[in-house]
Structure 1
């Protein structure tokens, strides 16, 4: 049984979530709060396993609450605004739902919550790499948030205050610096080989002393200071 805290300033949003949650016997709503300040006061002496959190609320918005809350439970953001998605995933939220929320979409989010809760119960030594590595990132492309599967990424190329994310032969121009975007990627799956290039390890099919060859037949130069990582590519050690 997972204890759920609902935080939203709209009574209708509470009713919708309660209606959908009624179909999940392992979810128990233990508290409903109508602003972040009320929720913080409750969490000071109580615990929940999951917060269903709105963003745009009076006094203190949901993102600000997440940044000040220590030892927070799992969080599923439920918002009418998609522009906070990238920041939300940077704060390690389990999922991000757009209003109006359907029962099917909430069920998908709750499945993620259950999986994470189950993995948290497994001793760290027995967790597998696949359980710990996320399968996607959320990035900003022009004015919209875009979800990209990590396995679709071949390499990243710095482009001023943007990053070219190469997906095979196609490319997305992402509103981010390379440094910021790399911070959101699992270190075990991506390797920086140049100040301007980061490659997905599984796309590297060849190498020499100065470059790597990718599966899409693109050859990228390896920066002098990054050459030590060449020894780890193609070995299965990354």
Structure 2
């Protein structure tokens, strides 16, 4: 989960960004600040991965505020002033959105930013066993400020979810900050099979195969054309 903070003196800008973010389930708002002086104590007291930062604000501009931060989170600038873009990139911002911006352009900025956050957190987000043996029963995965213990036996299937993955278990579903390719490497040798570019299933949880679909409980998982031959060798 990416936790974001909006810093902008215009309430309508907050509403627009929030509405866009509501369509992206991997984003979670942690606060709203209407000037940079509000943001200073907020950042000291809360965990923030991403700032949506306006430039033109009273008393202390967005860029002047950014220069005061020792270890800033990722920054997406949202502004009506295109002439400050170069200065923004010199301050190592992730992207520069000119108001009014479309949802498509917003999503592009988010995807670009998430890639850099993932690169930073990959090693700390997933605890992978160094060796695989009969005594290894699962792994720990970080998500939403918690570490979840995942037992191999509880996994039904895994679904790619943008830059994340959904891990479907017997009793719940967990959204992981890891790409499905990372999880696939972890599951090698543990009775799992890739059935589609977006799906990995537990072979012992398959109820039946029907045409180009695999049935697991109430779920119907597609079989990709390029994976069909491999699946046929197992069944």
State the TM-score, normalized to the length of structure 2.
Answer: 0.51
Aligned twin of 2:107? 107
**Distance between the aligned counterparts of 2:75 and 2:20, measured in 1?**
17
**Distance between the aligned counterparts of 2:27 and 2:74, measured in 1?**
13
**Distance between the aligned counterparts of 1:41 and 1:102, measured in 2?**
31
Q: Which runs of 5+ in 1 are unaligned?
A: 124-238
Q: Secondary structure at the match of 1:121?
A: helix
Aligned twin of 1:14? 14
**Distance between the aligned counterparts of 1:47 and 1:80, measured in 2?**
28
Q: Please list every run of at least 4 consecutive aligned residues from structure 1 whose deviation after the TM superposition is greater than 4 angstroms.
A: none
Aligned twin of 1:63? 63
How many Å apart are 1:122 and its aligned residue? 4.1
How many Å apart are 1:121 and its aligned residue? 2.2
Aligned twin of 1:72? 72
Q: How does 1:132-211 map to 2 (within 5 A)?
A: none
Cα deviations by residue, 1:44-71 (Å, 9 ceiling, x for unpaired): 2212000000000001100000100111
Cα deviations by residue, 1:183-225 (Å, 9 ceiling, x for unpaired): xxxxxxxxxxxxxxxxxxxxxxxxxxxxxxxxxxxxxxxxxxx
Q: Secondary structure at the match of 2:48?
A: coil
**Distance between the aligned counterparts of 1:115 and 1:74, measured in 2?**
11
Q: Secondary structure at the match of 1:44?
A: helix
Cα deviations by residue, 1:16-45 (Å, 9 ceiling, x for unpaired): 111111110000010000001100121122
Aligned twin of 2:120? 120
Aligned twin of 1:96? 96
Count matched residues. 123
Cα deviations by residue, 1:160-200 (Å, 9 ceiling, x for unpaired): xxxxxxxxxxxxxxxxxxxxxxxxxxxxxxxxxxxxxxxxx
**Distance between the aligned counterparts of 2:121 and 2:39, measured in 1?**
26
**Distance between the aligned counterparts of 2:92 and 2:60, measured in 1?**
19
Aligned twin of 1:216? none
Aligned twin of 2:47? 47
Q: Secondary structure at the match of 2:45?
A: coil
Q: Secondary structure at the match of 2:4?
A: strand
Aligned twin of 1:2? 2
Cα deviations by residue, 1:88-107 (Å, 9 ceiling, x for unpaired): 10111000000012111110
Q: Secondary structure at the match of 2:111?
A: helix
Q: Secondary structure at the match of 1:5?
A: strand
Aligned twin of 1:25? 25
